[in-house]
């Protein structure tokens, strides 16, 4: 279920948006006030933000910039009164990804949000190439070089590495790894995960004993940090 944040002061519009998006299966958080909006943003970490440019307290434009500077990959959809003199260039400068002028139809707004979320999911899911340290990996070619040298990875190792790269910084439990990397049918032991982490570390870490990238989160799982 995708989480979105609505920053809007008009109670009637709030209700309308909540109804529209909740019935479309979104998880809606609302901030009525520019002053608390950033806080709400940080605590909910939404997938997308709908922002009314006309706000009491902090200006919508500032908010836009602030959100973008903090989390560049969260799309922002701006609501603006038709009377507002707005040009697309300004909006793009602010970091907004799309805009809708009031009065708008909920249907249209919903369509735009869906489009934005779809783009996001597509873009984020399939890293084809990546590099960190002196490591360069290309999933299309299934090749990994370290300091220019080709390092052979097994298929399982590639899968696992890819999953980690697609979920950087996030702590991932062994169970989730088994589900996502091994698939739902196979049920190896959680011990197996450790062994594979070990192998990835030995191949990719400068000091496999004291790993920087493939970190252990005791009692919980592992996470990849660039």
Partner DNA sequence: AGACGATGTGACGAAATTGTCACTACCTGA
Partner DNA sequence: TCAGGTAGTGACAATTTCGTCACATCGTCT
Interacting residues with DNA (CB under 7 A): 152, 154-157, 174, 182, 186, 188-192, 194-198, 201-202, 208-209, 216-221
Q: What is the DSSP string of 99-122?
A: EEEES--HHHHHHHHHHHHHHHHH
Does residue 140 touch its own copies according to CB under 8 A? yes
Q: How far is the CB of 105 from its own copies (least distance, A)?
A: 22
**Contact pick of 69, 73, 141, 191 for its own copies (by CB under 8 A):** 141
State the binding string over 45-84 for its own copies (x if CB under 8 A, else -): x---------------------------------------
Rounded to whole angstroms, the Cα distance separating 112 from 20 reads: 13
**Contact pick of 42, 107, 118, 206 for its own copies (by CB under 8 A):** 42
Give the torsion through C-alpha atoms of 150, 156, 162, 164, to 10 deg.
-110
- The one of DNA, its own copies, none whose footprint includes residue 170, by CB under 5 to 8 A per kind, is its own copies
Q: How far is the CB of 159 from DNA (least distance, A)?
A: 8
Q: Residue 151: exposed, middle, or buried by beta-carbon count in 10 A (0-12, 13-18, 19+)?
A: middle
- Any residues with CB less than 8 A from the CB of 24 and at least 6 apart, and which? 110, 114
User: For residue 143, what is the enclosing H or E element?
Assistant: strand 143-146
What are the angstrom distances between the C-alpha of 149 and each of 143, 207, 223?
10, 17, 25
Q: How far is the CB of 151 from its own copies (least distance, A)?
A: 14
Tokens of 99: 């805009």
Q: Residue 174: exposed, middle, or buried by beta-carbon count in 10 A (0-12, 13-18, 19+)?
A: middle
Tokens of 30: 């609302």
Smaller CB distance to DNA: residue 156 or 168?
156
Smaller CB distance to DNA: residue 60 or 221?
221
- The one of DNA, its own copies, none whose footprint includes residue 189, by CB under 5 to 8 A per kind, is DNA
- The one of its own copies, DNA, none whose footprint includes residue 130, by CB under 5 to 8 A per kind, is its own copies
For the segment 172-211, give every residue that binds its own copies (CB under 8 A).
none
- The one of DNA, its own copies, none whose footprint includes residue 182, by CB under 5 to 8 A per kind, is DNA
Q: How far is the CB of 206 from DNA (least distance, A)?
A: 13
**Contact pick of 107, 170, 188, 195 for its own copies (by CB under 8 A):** 170
Rounded to whole angstroms, the Cα distance separating 167 from 225 reads: 9
């Amino acid at each position: 279920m995708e989480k979105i944040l609505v920053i809007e002061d008009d109670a009637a519009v709030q209700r309308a948006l909540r109804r529209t998006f909740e019935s479309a299966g979104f998880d809606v958080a609302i901030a009525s006030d520019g002053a608390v909006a950033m806080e709400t943003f940080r605590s909910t970490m939404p997938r997308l933000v709908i922002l009314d440019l006309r706000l009491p307290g902090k200006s919508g434009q500032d908010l836009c910039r602030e959100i973008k500077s903090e989390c560049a990959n969260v799309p922002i959809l701006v609501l603006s009164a038709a009377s507002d003199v707005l040009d697309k260039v300004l909006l793009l400068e602010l970091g907004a990804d799309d805009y809708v002028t009031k009065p708008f139809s909920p249907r249209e707004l919903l369509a735009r949000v869906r489009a934005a979320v779809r783009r996001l999911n597509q873009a984020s899911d399939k890293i084809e190439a990546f590099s960190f340290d002196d490591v360069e990996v290309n999933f299309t070619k299934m090749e990994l070089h370290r300091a220019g040298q080709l390092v052979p990875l097994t298929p399982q190792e590639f899968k696992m590495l890819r999953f980690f790269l697609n979920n950087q910084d996030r702590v991932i439990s062994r169970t989730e790894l088994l589900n996502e990397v091994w698939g739902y049918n196979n049920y190896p032991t959680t011990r197996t995960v450790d062994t594979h982490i070990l192998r990835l570390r030995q191949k990719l870490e400068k000091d496999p004993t004291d790993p920087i990238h493939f970190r252990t989160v005791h009692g919980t799982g592992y996470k990849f940090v660039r």
